[in-house]
Chains A and B, each alone.
Chain A
Amino acid sequence: GENVEQHPSTLSVQEGDSAVIKCTYSDSASNYFPWYKQELGKGPQLIIDIRSNVGEKKDQRIAVTLNKTAKHFSLHITETQPEDSAVYFCAASMNDMRFGAGTRLTVKP
Chain B
Amino acid sequence: SQTIHQWPATLVQPVGSPLSLECTVEGTSNPNLYWYRQAAGRGLQLLFYSVGIGQISSEVPQNLSASRPQDRQFILSSKKLLLSDSGFYLCAWSGQRIPQHFGDGTRLSIL
Establish whether residues B42 and A46, one from each chain, have CB atoms under 8 Å apart when the complex forms: no
Q: Say whether chain B's binding surface is mostly helix, strand, loop, or mixed.
A: loop
Q: Are B43 and A44 in contact (CB under 8 A)?
A: no
A74-102 contacts to B (CB < 8 Å): 89, 93, 95-97, 99-102
B104 touches A89 (CB 8 A): no
B contacts with A, residue count (CB < 8 A): 18
**Smallest CB gap from B94: residue in A:** A97
In-complex Cβ contact of A43 among B41, B97, B98, B104 (8 A): B104
Residue contact B43 to A95, C-beta cutoff 8 Å: no
Does B58 sit at the interface, judged by CB under 8 A? no
Which residues does chain B contribute within 8 Å of A93, judged by CB atoms? 98
6 contacts between A and B (CB under 8 A): A4-B43, A36-B102, A42-B104, A43-B105, A95-B97, A101-B43
B4 vs chain A, min Cβ distance (A): 8
Q: Is A41 an interface residue (CB 8 A)?
A: yes
Interface residues of B in 80-98 (CB under 8 A from A): 90, 92, 97-98
Instruction: Please name all residues of chain B whose beta carbon is closer than 8 Å to the beta carbon of A96 when the two chains form the complex.
Output: 46, 97
Instruction: Report whether B42 and A43 are in contact in the complex, using a CB–CB cutoff of 8 Å.
Output: no
